Amino acid sequence: MDEKILVTRSSMPPYEEYIEAIKPLWETHWLTNMGTYHWQLEEELKRYLDVSELSLMVNGHMALELAIQSFGFPQDAEVITTPFTFISSTHAIVRNRLKPVFCDIKPSDGTIDEEKIEDLITEHTVAIIPVHVYGNICNIERIQEIADKYNLKVIYDAAHAFGVKYKGKGIGGFGDASAFSFHATKMFNTIEGGAVTFSDHKIYEKLYNLKNFGIHGEELVTEVGANAKMNEFSAIMGLCNLKHLGAALARRKEIYDFYRKEISEMKGISLLSENRDATKNYAYFPILIEDSYESSRDEAFERLRENNVFARKYFYPLTADQACFKNKYRNADIANARKLSKQVLIIPMYEELGLDQAERIVGLLKDIGRRKK
């Protein structure tokens, strides 16, 4: 049996480098609560992501949840969002006591269909929460135009869009705020971690407060905050991983280019379209199984698994169809999202994936598409 290939594998710096980097913690005994490395990582990430403001968080979910909370929307207000995402995006809305209103996506790239947003706006709508899914950038200009017209906030789930630039600007600088994830499975990780980026400095103080229990001074608590601070071991992991990101990206690009070349010619498999105005971070490689492929998506998934290749059905089912949300909220027609979620497979992509392994995966896809079992 060939070796097991998972969909991703966490990036880690050389062992000695990390051990050396965490040594000072044994002198200071300062392990969390906005330590030296927390500040250093905030500064370095602002530079890398090309944003003016950034607040580190304990994970991507809390980044999104607190970003939403920071705007103080009234309870039960409506938020227009996409169901084609990780469950965290919808949880963050509902845990803020807001109502998600699911908007369909574009089959071309999986992002929210901006032309369907306006029809869903009511007097209760307060925000649009789109997702740059797989690092594909939403139609930022059109979404901003709609938000301006109806006085709505725009908060991006940018968990997949680390390092992406749009028209030469850091993606985290668009809209009112963006939430990034630095989870171990993401292309840049701090083990667990995340950040909110934005342009208005007032949000920085608000988030600082919210991620530290709402504590404002030694004897004053002003908000119902959470504990979402990043610890020093995570911040150091981030500082180390950041140093190797250039090399990691080069490796990812090599695999991405190979996949793209091989798979774009394969009968029955199609790929999502790429935005020429945005850079790529090579975080994921989604493929779409068409009717003309010899196996269904689920059969392909199983066959890969039998051959020790563990692809993932991201994102299936839609968040709107999960047990906790099903039939609870106003749904627009989300037929494109349903269709894409039944076609998509994410195939393995990480910096240490060898080209020989990528070749094996491509070979399997050719084989599975050629004949019935």
Ligand X SMILES: *Cc1c(COP(=O)(O)O)cnc(C)c1O
CB nearer to ligand X: pick between 146 and 158: 158
Locus of tokens 């190979």: 258
Is position 159 an interface residue for ligand X (rule: CB under 6 A)? yes
Report how far residue 81's alpha carbon sits from residue 138's, in angstroms, rounded to the nearest whole number.
12
Least distance to ligand X from the beta carbon of 158, Å? 8
Paired residues of 325 in beta bridges: none
CB nearer to ligand X: pick between 159 and 364: 159
Closest C-alpha among 268, 255, 274 to residue 300: 268
Q: Which stretch in 23-31, 98-106, 155-163, 251-259 sits in contact with ligand X by CB under 6 A?
A: 155-163
| Residue 16 token pair | 């000695």
CB nearer to ligand X: pick between 37 and 284: 284
Is position 61 an interface residue for ligand X (rule: CB under 6 A)? yes
E strands present in 199-304: 215-217, 220-221, 269-270, 285-289
| Residue 355 token pair | 């080209």
| Residues of this chain, 177-196, that bind ligand X according to CB under 6 A | 181, 183, 194
**Cβ pair 345, 285 in contact under 8 A:** no
CB nearer to ligand X: pick between 90 and 295: 90
Is position 295 an interface residue for ligand X (rule: CB under 6 A)? no
Least distance to ligand X from the beta carbon of 204, Å? 20
**According to CB under 6 A, which one of 160, 252, 312, 360 is a site residue for ligand X?**
160
| Residues of this chain, 86-145, that bind ligand X according to CB under 6 A | 86, 88-89, 131
Report how far residue 313's alpha carbon sits from residue 302's, in angstroms, rounded to the nearest whole number.
11
Is position 340 an interface residue for ligand X (rule: CB under 6 A)? no
Q: Which stretch in 38-46, 96-104, 153-161, 342-350 sits in contact with ligand X by CB under 6 A?
A: 153-161
> What is the DSSP track for 49-115?
HT-SEEEEESSHHHHHHHHHHTT-PPTT-EEEE-SSS-HHHHHHHHTTT-EEEE--B-TTTSSB-GG
What number of other Cβ atoms are within 10 A of residue 40's Cβ?
A: 14
**Cβ pair 83, 329 in contact under 8 A:** no
CB nearer to ligand X: pick between 35 and 194: 194
CB nearer to ligand X: pick between 82 and 125: 82
| Residues of this chain, 29-48, that bind ligand X according to CB under 6 A | none
Q: Which stretch in 7-15, 84-92, 327-335, 341-349 sits in contact with ligand X by CB under 6 A?
A: 84-92
Angle at 207 (CA atoms; ends 136, 230), nearest 5 degrees = 80
Locus of tokens 């563990």: 310
Least distance to ligand X from the beta carbon of 156, Å? 10
Is position 360 an interface residue for ligand X (rule: CB under 6 A)? no
| Residue 288 token pair | 């779409």
Is position 281 an interface residue for ligand X (rule: CB under 6 A)? no
Q: Which stretch in 81-89, 218-226, 267-275, 295-303 sits in contact with ligand X by CB under 6 A?
A: 81-89
Q: Which stretch in 80-88, 204-212, 243-251, 256-264 sits in contact with ligand X by CB under 6 A?
A: 80-88
What number of other Cβ atoms are within 10 A of residue 352's Cβ?
A: 12
Least distance to ligand X from the beta carbon of 56, Å? 12
Paired residues of 212 in beta bridges: 227
E strands present in the chain: 53-57, 78-81, 99-102, 125-129, 153-157, 165-166, 169-170, 177-181, 194-198, 215-217, 220-221, 269-270, 285-289, 344-347
Is position 234 an interface residue for ligand X (rule: CB under 6 A)? no
CB nearer to ligand X: pick between 187 and 368: 187
In the complex, which residues of this chain contact ligand X (CB under 6 A)? 59-61, 85-86, 88-89, 131, 157, 159-160, 181, 183, 194
